[in-house]
Structure 1
Amino acid sequence: MDLMIYILLTFVAGAIPFVEYMLAIPFGIIAGVPTIPATIIGFAGNLTTVILLIWFVDKVRDALRKKKKQKVTASDSVSDAPFTVYPNGEQLQNGVEAIIDDHVNKTTGTLKSNRAQKAKKLWVKYGMPGLSFLGTVLLSSHLTALMACSFGGNRGYITIWMVISLAIWSLIVGVAVHFGMDAFFR
């Protein structure tokens, strides 16, 4: 019975942001759950909440797009021009600019804040694979998924790379804790 409680606690710990697989797997192994089940359960707990977060953010983003699109459609009758031309030469069809991220300055076509510029550069440089592998271990898998969604990533693509990243890092943590515990208790 105690083993079932530790398995459940390992799953719940994996689901908690900033605790995640990094602490859930070692907790499970130290509590007495065998290494392979502890690794799988910690991974599953973390993955469950990450996928729910990706799904939730995607649904919210779709709802906001629909709301902006309805607002733009009502104001389209005022504008007869088919395109809006920005000073940087970029042409956007009327209505599309309502969907552009709020971080974009519409008069210059550039990103407003320095942090937004740096984050976008990292996204462009490393893409989703780099963001998922680096962000998952350096920050948090939940925060990484949220950043990927906010940068406009595809929900399916984000999910695939987060699954791959979490599986690899969970495996690394599980093996490291297993062999570390084995060496520590010899």
Structure 2
Amino acid sequence: MTNETGDGVRRQLLRIIPCTLWVIGLTIGILLLLSQSAAATVGTELASSALSVPVLETSIAETLRDADGITQYALIFVLAAIPWLEIVVVIPIGVALGINPFGVALFAFLGNVLPIYGIIAFYVRLKAALGWEQPNPNSKTSRRKNWAKRIWNRFGLPGLALASPVIIGVHLATIIALALQSKKRTVALWMTVSVFVWTVALTVSAHYGIESIQTIVG
């Protein structure tokens, strides 16, 4: 029964993940391409307002666009290390701006995965210093934790790790996994695998999604 359930979950993930990646790539590609096109004629602020592009994503795109060379990659590294931005936001924007996809993927991966190891190494100290033992039940973070625990209860650590980049972020997922008494090495392994898989998938989907849009619009 357990094997059948596991096989069913894997089949569902194989159906859902490719569609999700394609939608992410197309959606962000469309928004950024339209924003860039409109900005050329009516200005960045008006374009962002008219197209309802999220302010944060627009600011990230503008910051990366204004930088060049190694500075762009350094910014990608830093942005990918910020919780809730991470690779899901940074990679599609970087690829859409025409930055080398391999460079985007590499620096986004490193920026996203290295803080995981820091959290794991210093978890006990961080827990005591930040008061993670006494969460506020009304906070958004606590609601995200409850959501993550439901995923954990159903799919275990692998499910939490693989779902975390698009649901709660890998950094919060790492904290939750450790709080649920998972072994540190196992958490590090699954979170690294998750970040790697999503980095490759997001880079490929963003690259080909944006290429498709450019082909369509001529």
TM-score over 0.5 (shorter chain): yes
Q: Structure 1 residues 184, 151: closer, same or farther in 2, change over 3 A?
A: same
Contact 1:14 1:43 in 2 (8 A): yes
The answer to whether structure 1 residue 46 and structure 2 residue 75 are counterparts is no
Please state whether the residue corresponding to 2:122 is helix, strand or coil: helix
Contact 1:135 1:141 in 2 (8 A): yes
Please state whether the residue corresponding to 2:186 is helix, strand or coil: helix
Contact 2:87 2:165 in 1 (8 A): no
Equivalent residues, number: 138
Paired position in structure 2 for 1:67: none
The answer to whether structure 1 residue 145 and structure 2 residue 174 are counterparts is yes
**Which letter maps to 2:186?**
Y
Give the one of 120, 126, 138 matched to 2:155: 126
Q: Deviations over 1:118-162 (max 9, x none)?
A: 865643432211111122321111111111011111111000000
Structure 2 unpaired stretches of 5+: 1-66, 135-143
Rounded Cα–Cα distance in structure 1 between residues aligned with 2:151 and 2:87: 24
Deviation at 1:32, TM superposition (A): 2.9
Alignment of 1:53-68 (within 5 A): 53-59=119-125
Q: Structure 1 residues 19, 119: closer, same or farther in 2, change over 3 A?
A: closer
**Which letter maps to 2:199?**
S
Contact 2:148 2:160 in 1 (8 A): no
**Which letter maps to 2:99?**
V
Please state whether the residue corresponding to 1:185 is helix, strand or coil: helix
Q: RMSD of the TM alignment (CA)?
A: 2.9
Rounded Cα–Cα distance in structure 1 between residues aligned with 2:124 and 2:177: 11
Rounded Cα–Cα distance in structure 2 between residues aligned with 1:116 and 1:2: 38
Paired position in structure 2 for 1:166: 195
Paired position in structure 2 for 1:27: 93
Deviation at 1:185, TM superposition (A): 1.8
**Which letter maps to 2:211?**
D
Q: Deviations over 1:94-117 (max 9, x none)?
A: xxxxxxx99xxxxxxxxxxxx999
Q: Deviations over 1:42-65 (max 9, x none)?
A: 11100011221222214556x89x
Q: Structure 1 residues 179, 124: closer, same or farther in 2, change over 3 A?
A: same
Paired position in structure 1 for 2:74: 8
Larger radius of gyration: 1
Name whichever structure is richer in helix by fraction.
2
Deviation at 1:169, TM superposition (A): 0.9
Please state whether the residue corresponding to 2:69 is helix, strand or coil: helix
**Which letter maps to 2:190?**
W
Q: TM-score, normalised by structure 2?
A: 0.55
Q: TM-score, normalised by structure 1?
A: 0.64
Rounded Cα–Cα distance in structure 1 between residues aligned with 2:161 and 2:118: 16
Give runs of ≥4 in structure 1 deviating > 3 Å. Answer: 58-61, 115-122
Contact 2:109 2:199 in 1 (8 A): yes
